[in-house]
Amino acid sequence: MKILVTGASGLLGSKICLLALKKGHEVYSVYREHAVDSGKPVKLDLTSWSDVFKAFSELKPEAVIHAAAYTDVDGCEANRDTAWSVNAESTRLVAEASARIGAHLTYVSTDYVFDGEKGLYTEDDEPNPINYYGYTKLKGEEYVKQHGEQWCIARASVIYGWGAEHKPNFATWLISSLSQGKEVKVLTDQHVSPTFNTNLAEMLLEIAERRITGVLHTAGATRVSRHGFALKLAEAFQLDVNMVKPASMREIPWKARRPRDSSLNVSKALMLLESKPLRLEQALEMMRKETVDKDGKESLKLWK
């Protein structure tokens, strides 16, 4: 199967490419700034209709997984033109181009389309973003519905894991900090559904292979506070849990508001998919195994 993956140099996109190649797919790895070394690299400006249409028409992928996004929440608040261009407008172009060539489109969206007043949101709950990042991702969802033909909107939450060395994520930041003996302050009053990048990539590939359509929550299967997540991470990697200190949202000088509880209900994915959302303990065990090198020793360099 010919699969085109956008954001191929990122935490999620790079993992999708690697897993797709292992499964024998022909992979086109789309990037803009950071070159990729897996699949067939395609440097592409996703905000240019002519570039997107030309590339899709020439490559003719059977499936597109659109993982590229501007995910810096405060950055989106401060740089709204860029956020709109990358998260909303480029998604419209990808949806239009995918529809023109008959490709199935999987759009990776976010729990931040919700306001966080409820928690454990289902696919049928009404989105109501409270920051510009969430707003642009929701507009991306709307463009997929308007301009796509065969599509799946796959929502995740706090994606973490190894990869994308140019951009640390919550887990790698925490592991690095604690392994260096640094104290960290983590929120006790924000709840999420942490999503391991390998698990998410497996789910997205299954969606593409089976051409599943509709909205699907593809997050981790555990609702937990950021603080609780940090403690589980520290325990899993045998780091000092006493260095993880509690903090509250009111202490953080954010530019953009954050939802208090944007956790996602993944019951639909658990019933529908063979690659099921993992509970946090399962995902962290898998993440630990990914740090083991070919000699069976833990590769500590990955922790830094």
Domains in the chain, start-ordered, CATH in brackets?
Answer: 2-162+193-222+259-279 (3.40.50.720)
User: Which contiguous run of DSSP H or E holds residue 146?
Assistant: helix 132-147
Euclidean distance between CA atoms 232 and 230, whole angstroms: 5
For the chain, give the longest Cα–Cα distance: 55
- The strand pair at 151-156 and 244-247 is best described as unpaired
User: Which contiguous run of DSSP H or E holds residue 141?
Assistant: helix 132-147
What pLDDT, on a 0 to 100 scale, did the predictor assign at position 299?
Answer: 47
Euclidean distance between CA atoms 42 and 53, whole angstroms: 13
What pLDDT, on a 0 to 100 scale, did the predictor assign at position 302?
Answer: 47
Q: Is the pLDDT of residue 294 over 70?
A: no
Q: What is the pLDDT of residues 31-85, one digit of tens each?
A: 998 888 889 999 999 999 999 999 999 999 999 999 999 999 999 999 999 999 9
User: Which contiguous run of DSSP H or E holds residue 191?
Assistant: strand 191-192
Q: What is the pLDDT of residues 89-128, one digit of tens each?
A: 999 999 999 999 999 999 999 999 999 999 999 999 999 9
What pLDDT, on a 0 to 100 scale, did the predictor assign at position 168?
Answer: 85
Summarize the confidence of residues 11-18 as an average pLDDT: 96
Percentage with pLDDT > 90 across the chain: 91
End-to-end CA distance of the chain: 36
Residue whose C-alpha is closest to residue 257's, from 168, 86, 131, 153: 131
Q: Which amino acid is at 44?
A: L
Which CB contacts under 8 angstroms, 24+ apart, belong to 298-303? Answer: 300/179, 302/162, 303/175, 303/176, 303/179, 303/237
Kindly list the catalytic residues: 133
Contact 201, 19 (CB under 8 A): yes
What pLDDT, on a 0 to 100 scale, did the predictor assign at position 164?
Answer: 65
Q: What is the pLDDT of residues 132-154, one digit of tens each?
A: 999 999 999 999 999 999 999 99
Q: Is the pLDDT of residue 304 over 50?
A: no
Q: Which amino acid is at 302?
A: L
Q: 152 forms bridges with which residues in the sheet?
A: 106, 214
More confident residue, 297 or 31: 31
How distant, in Å, are the alpha carbons of 49, 52, 95, 215, 231 from that of 101?
14, 12, 10, 22, 47
Split at pLDDT 50, 70, 90, the class of 295 is very low
What pLDDT, on a 0 to 100 scale, did the predictor assign at position 301?
Answer: 45
Helix-then-strand count for the chain, H and E:
11, 13
How distant, in Å, are the alpha carbons of 129, 140, 205, 212, 253 from that of 154?
17, 12, 11, 10, 30
Q: Could you write out the DSSP letters of every residue in 196-234?
A: EHHHHHHHHHHHHHHT--EEEE-S-S--EEHHHHHHHHH
Q: Is the pLDDT of residue 297 over 50?
A: no
What pLDDT, on a 0 to 100 scale, did the predictor assign at position 33?
Answer: 86
Mean pLDDT score across all residues of the chain = 94
